[in-house]
Amino acid sequence: LAKTTQPISMDSYEGQEVNITCSHNNIATNDYITWYQQFPSQGPRFIIQGYKTKVTNEVASLFIPADRKSSTLSLPRVSLSDTAVYYCLVGDQRNAGNMLTFGGGTRLMVKP
Amino acid sequence: NAGVTQTPKFQVLKTGQSMTLQCAQDMNHEYMSWYRQDPGMGLRLIHYSVGAGITDQGEVPNGYNVSRSTTEDFPLRLLSAAPSQTSVYFCASSYLGRGRANTEAFFGQGTRLTVV
């Protein structure tokens, strides 16, 4: 399984755009990149998933360069309610033992 | 549609006791898994299953057993509780395959377990 590296924590202010980068140098050809959000005392919640280039949904955008060795989760105009831990996952549930493993995540603090 | 339901929400055990954490999903997902999350830490995979009758070990399986007799249920059994197993336990489920490598995983609300 490709290991991921993310910043431990980030601070931002309301209304700003936040970009969280995840490094995954050993990503395999079939691996997808998935991001989850977790609030205190809750289970993680799926945000976005992609394989290459750019993916956008109503919550966030995911940028993946051509070499796929990193990815960036972009949260536009964050609010206080975006304060959470964000996890980057890389893998393929169909192979590699079907394991979906989490790293340490990035703790985002949004300030007023 | 209830999603993923975990019971109980809170539990206190004495060292050496055994118990089963229940997890049920009503989305007909093939893939189910159990994680533990210690304070201030990320999630660590305990066991997972890709379908009824099939289970496998994750990153931290010692001290836990699982079974998957139906698609809907994936109970986690603590054989002999130890203080080191004090944690929050999350169950998750998702579709497997269907042309996408990792589909959206749905998590339960967690079971907060304290072993004294």
Residue-wise pLDDT for A39-63, tens only, equals: 988 999 999 999 999 999 999 999 9
User: Which residue from B56, B90, B101 is facing A92, i.e. has the nearest CB?
Assistant: B101
Average pLDDT over residues B58-63: 94
User: Which residue from A46, A93, A104 is facing B101, i.e. has the nearest CB?
Assistant: A93
Indicate yes or no: CB of B96 within 8 angstroms of CB of A98: yes
Which pLDDT score is estimated for A93?
62
Name the 3-class secondary structure at B30: coil
Is the predicted pLDDT of residue B19 greater than 90, yes or no? Answer: yes
pLDDT band of B96, cuts 50, 70, 90: confident
Sort out which chain B residues have CB atoms less than 8 A from A89's CB and list them: 102
Indicate yes or no: CB of A99 within 8 angstroms of CB of B48: yes
Indicate yes or no: CB of B33 within 8 angstroms of CB of A30: no
Which pLDDT score is estimated for A30?
81
Which of A32-41, A69-78, B5-14 is least confident? A32-41
Indicate yes or no: CB of B102 within 8 angstroms of CB of A49: yes
Which pLDDT score is estimated for B2?
76
Average pLDDT over residues A91-110: 77
Chain A contact for B96 (CB, 8 A cutoff): yes
Which pLDDT score is estimated for A104?
84
Count the helices and strands in chain A (H runs, E runs): 0, 9
- Output the CA–CA distances (angstroms, integers) from residue A30 to A27, A44, B88, B98, in the order listed: 8, 23, 32, 14
